[in-house]
Amino acid sequence: MLTTVTPGEGGRMIELGWKDGAVSRFHAMWLRDNALDDKTRSAGNGQRLITILDIPAETRIAAASIKGEVLEVTFAPEGKTVGFPAGWLRSHAYDRQEAREPGWTAGDIRRWTKATMQNSVPRAAYADASRDSDVLRQWLAAVRSYGFAVMDGLPTESGALCKVADLFGYIRETNYGRWFEVRAEVNPSNLAYTNLGLQAHTDNPYRDPVPTLQILACIENTVEGGESSVVDGFAVAAALQAENPDGFRLLSSCPARFEYAGSSGVRLQSKRPMIELGSDGELICIRFNNRSLAPAVDVPFAEMEKYYAAYRRFAELIEDPSFEVTFKLEAGESFIVDNTRVMHARKAFSGSGKRWLQGCYADKDGLLSTLAAIEHGFKEAAE
Ligand code: FE2
């Protein structure tokens, strides 16, 4: 599929032509640093064996040719010849024309609303996911794409939620413990432990790094009400950006402050925006929690009224039923949320009956790692 190779700029780059008409340029320095030979990368673990300082600053392409499905490049002044598979070059091409707008998301992220999600909530049974890697793969892929999924068929006993985390990684322990109880208390240390409804929120924005996954499992739920709901923060952020670009700019560029000091010996504080963009404008994290939002002191005076208007509109959109997917957790059911994206809420419930949930945190990088390993066929490595 590689048809032409044309060196340019005195050997500082080459231009590759592909059978489908695509053109991609690569720099000599980039190719040399990413050479795939066993002097540059370990054949065993794939890790790079050289540093940038081992590569001559004046590196040039002295010769380049196509040998079947391989591009062969000779670098000067090293006089080193390396082969690059055409498929590898195609999948690593960085010569893109289109500019990315702030708020873009990766191709495997699927935003959703009530209309697209209420009747297709991703769900798997624990027994199936634990013995069938294909079921587990689909469930993990749903978390990657949609930021949440339900898992049912758990034992209705304390600590059962850890079994969900064990499927893909590890519990992240905090000052709340390895897991925490969510049931009504008198004089609670946290409003989560009452029968009040809770506005849709992300958990623990006062931690840095924030817990990236939360699992909530139900052991008993015989109250009136108390349904759970989830809201796609990425979908809401996109809606805000579409109708109020300047408000989106303020919420994504001005830091918010979050803090929690509700129990002795704990004084957690963070300074992060409600809508966080990566250095290239990628939408990477939503932090939204009325209970732990601290006074904003990093918004310019001239912008504070507009900042509050944007915060209000963001909250209105989060409350908009068209974004909300609702379900009632029954005993033995759990759900996981990507806490950097999907907000969760609880409806108020009446005092009769019992509602006993447990929650814990885990790490999304571990979940994505397990998913990628299954997708690459390493599923039985630990057995
Ligand atoms: Fe929560």
Looking up residue 228, the CATH number of its domain turns out to be 3.60.130.10
What are the residues whose beta carbons fall under 8 Å from the beta carbon of 313, sequence distance 6 or more? 240, 243, 244, 247
Of 57, 91, 125, the residue that ends a domain is: 91
Buried b / exposed e over 76-97, threshold 16 CB at 10 Å, is: eeeebebebebeebeeeeeeee
Query: Separation of 203 CA from ligand 1 center, angstroms?
Result: 5
DSSP at 177: B
Mean pLDDT of 158-183: 96
pLDDT at 383: 41
Q: Is 380 inside any structural domain?
A: no
60 and 134 in a common domain: no
The residue count of the chain comes to: 383
203 and 56 in a common domain: no
Q: 164 with 126: CB under 8 angstroms?
A: yes
Q: Is 100 inside any structural domain?
A: no
More confident residue, 185 or 171: 171
123 and 78 in a common domain: no
179 and 41 in a common domain: no
Alpha-carbon separation of residue 177 from 174, 181, 205, 370 (angstroms): 5, 10, 17, 24
Query: Separation of 351 CA from ligand 1 center, angstroms?
Result: 20
Mean pLDDT of 286-301: 97
Domain range enclosing 74: 2-91
Q: Is 107 inside any structural domain?
A: no
Mean pLDDT of 130-146: 98
Name the domain count of the chain.
2
pLDDT at 352: 73
Q: Which CATH number is 36's domain given?
A: 3.30.2020.30
Q: How much is the pTM? A: 0.93
Query: Separation of 248 CA from ligand 1 center, angstroms?
Result: 24
Q: Is 152 inside any structural domain?
A: yes
Mean pLDDT of 255-264: 94
160 and 279 in a common domain: yes
Q: Is 97 inside any structural domain?
A: no
Query: Separation of 281 CA from ligand 1 center, angstroms?
Result: 27
Query: Separation of 289 CA from ligand 1 center, angstroms?
Result: 9
Cα–Cα dist 327/308, whole Å: 31
Q: Is 383 inside any structural domain?
A: no
193 and 61 in a common domain: no
**Does the structure show a pLDDT above 80 at 190?**
no
pLDDT digit string, tens, across residues 27-48: 999 999 999 999 999 999 999 9
**Does the structure show a pLDDT above 60 at 177?**
yes
Query: Separation of 238 CA from ligand 1 center, angstroms?
Result: 23
Query: Separation of 141 CA from ligand 1 center, angstroms?
Result: 23
**Does the structure show a pLDDT above 70 at 301?**
yes
306 and 259 in a common domain: yes
Query: Separation of 183 CA from ligand 1 center, angstroms?
Result: 12
Cα–Cα dist 373/303, whole Å: 46
203 and 292 in a common domain: yes
Ion ligand 1: residues, CB within 5 A, are 203
143 and 28 in a common domain: no
Of 56, 91, 126, the residue that ends a domain is: 91
Query: Separation of 343 CA from ligand 1 center, angstroms?
Result: 8
204 and 75 in a common domain: no
Q: Is 106 inside any structural domain?
A: no
Q: 302 with 207: CB under 8 angstroms?
A: no
Query: Separation of 317 CA from ligand 1 center, angstroms?
Result: 19
What is the average pLDDT value for the chain, to the nearest integer? 94
Q: Is 105 inside any structural domain?
A: no
152 and 62 in a common domain: no
162 and 17 in a common domain: no
pLDDT digit string, tens, across residues 67-84: 999 999 999 999 999 999
